Amino acid sequence: MLFFNRFSILGFILLVLGFLLLPFIVGIFLIPPGVVLLLIGLTMAIWRLIPGHELMEPKIQTFTNQYIDSSAILRLIFRRKPRSPG
């Protein structure tokens, strides 16, 4: 039950369904999202195993905000207004 969350379960279901529907062309389109969701779910589960991960999350959020604010394209994608210096 350690690695089961909604992303990993949904990813596994899409992966199995994609393999079953592979003789029909539909399976080709179901396998990549299934793999991505499965990897996201496993990454989230492993992240929760790291001791003190709660302490790192504000630092990661600060770094992410600085990275988004440093690029005009990323500000457009994430719909953020440019900050005035100072």
Both 33 and 65 in one domain: the answer is no
| Per-residue pLDDT at 49 | 85
Angle at 84 between CA 78 and CA 86, to 5 degrees: 130
**What value does the mean pLDDT of the chain take?**
85
Both 24 and 36 in one domain: the answer is yes
Both 11 and 45 in one domain: the answer is yes
Residue 25 pLDDT > 80: yes
Residues sharing a CB contact under 8 Å with residue 49, sequence separation 6 or more, in sequence order: 2
Both 44 and 56 in one domain: the answer is no
| Per-residue pLDDT at 73 | 84
The C-alpha atoms of residue 36 and residue 14 are separated, in whole angstroms, by 10
Q: Average pLDDT, stretch 14-26?
A: 90
The phi and psi torsions of 3 (rounded to 5 degrees) equal -100, 10
Both 7 and 33 in one domain: the answer is yes
Q: What is the pLDDT of residues 26-71, one digit of tens each?
A: 889 999 999 999 999 998 888 888 888 888 888 888 988 888 888 8
Give the pTM.
0.65
Both 74 and 32 in one domain: the answer is no
Domain count of the chain?
Answer: 2
Q: List the domain range (segments joined by +) for residue 44.
A: 1-49
